[in-house]
Amino acid sequence: MNRREFFKRSILTGAASGVALTGGNFKKIFAAISPQVKGPYDMVAVKGGEPVQMFDKAIESLGGMKNFVKKGQTVVVKPNIGWDALPERSANTNPQLIKRIIEQCYSAGAKQVYVFDNTCDEWLKCYENSGIQYAVKEAGGKIVPGNSEGNYHEVEIKQGKKLKNAKVHELILSSDVFFNVPVLKSHSSTQITASMKNHMGIVWDRRYWHRNDLDQCIADFAAYRKPDLNIVDAYRVLTKRGPKGVSDEDVVLMKSLIISKDIVAADAASAKLFGLEPEHIRHIKLADEAKVGTMDLTKLNINRIKLS
């Protein structure tokens, strides 16, 4: 079976190789996010459906994609495509979700939708084996390499404590709309990776961050360019031995999605979904203290949607 056939088959089967959480434990984690309230919403948290279904419900409850994308605008969608791994491994963002986001952007009138990542493994293999390259082309988007330093331009991080400057990909600097679409998973250095850490794929020199207080650099950069939406893929979640993962046995099928304009809140809700308290994740706490956003979810109007 070639990679394209694998991707097509995964759409039909859901490619769910992980072990689902027990009903009681899952309800407890999800209920910690918020009680049911009426809009307009600061965040939408969906569980129980397939990626396309969950995204459609979430964006509808936020007023539809036309609230974020206007006719003739250019959009950059930034998934995690950092690893040479098949979709089952959950090292990268779910390709079905990326495809649907692009389709919705075009339906809203977008002129062009770009997708890229500065990958950790060899970029051609990451793009192909993740299924994202195929998904982008199917939706009519344009997938762009992120492996050339010439496409990155230096900017000043005015609020930065450790990170004062960074070379940022030109698509982030030039596009009208920026959608940040990470996959929620474990990380050996930061406990979890979600919205803020996904920014490491839009800068050139990630090594500087690792050498100079990784959590502080993540929080510093979060203040520079706030995405128009943070869309956290928690359909399959790599619960240990991340960020690439070692075995399919490390993956849990959570069938969840979190969307918010507030990048700190999105990561706080992601931490809770992961079974952790936001204040125990250092870069979330630092970004909250810097007033990039809020990790106090009780301050937000959150819509919880449960699908069958």
CA distance 268 to 276: 9
Q: Is the pTM of this model over 0.85?
A: yes
Domain parsing of the chain, residue ranges: 3-11+20-306
Q: What is the mean pLDDT of residues 249-278?
A: 97
Contact status, residue 231 vs residue 181, Cβ threshold 8 Å: yes
Task: Write the pLDDT tens digit of every residue in 62-92.
Answer: 999 999 999 999 999 999 999 999 999 999 9
**What are 73's two structure tokens?**
């605008």
Closest CA to 81 of 97, 68, 70: 97
Size of the chain in residues = 308
pLDDT tens-digit readout, 164-223: 999 999 999 999 999 999 999 999 999 999 999 999 999 999 999 999 999 999 999 999
Assign a CATH topology to domain 3-11+20-306.
Rossmann fold (3.40.50)
Q: Hey, what amino acid is at 58?
A: A
Rounded Cα distance, 29 and 192, in Å: 16
Q: Residue holding tokens 């204040």?
A: 279
Question: Does the pLDDT value for residue 247 go beyond 90?
Answer: no
Cβ–Cβ under 8 Å, residues 264 and 293: yes
Of 25-34, 85-94, 202-211, 282-291, the least confident: 25-34
Side chain identity, residue 28: K
In the prediction, which pLDDT does 245 show?
84
User: Phi and psi for 279 in degrees, rounded to 5?
Assistant: -70, -10
Cβ(46)–Cβ(54) under 8 Å? yes
Going by pLDDT thresholds of 50, 70 and 90, the confidence category of residue 10 is: very low
Q: Where are the beta strands (DSSP E) in the chain?
A: 43-47, 74-79, 112-115, 142-143, 152-156, 165-169, 177-181, 183-187, 191-193, 229-238, 251-260, 302-306
Among the listed residues 243, 234, 295, the one whose alpha carbon sits nearest the alpha carbon of residue 81: 243
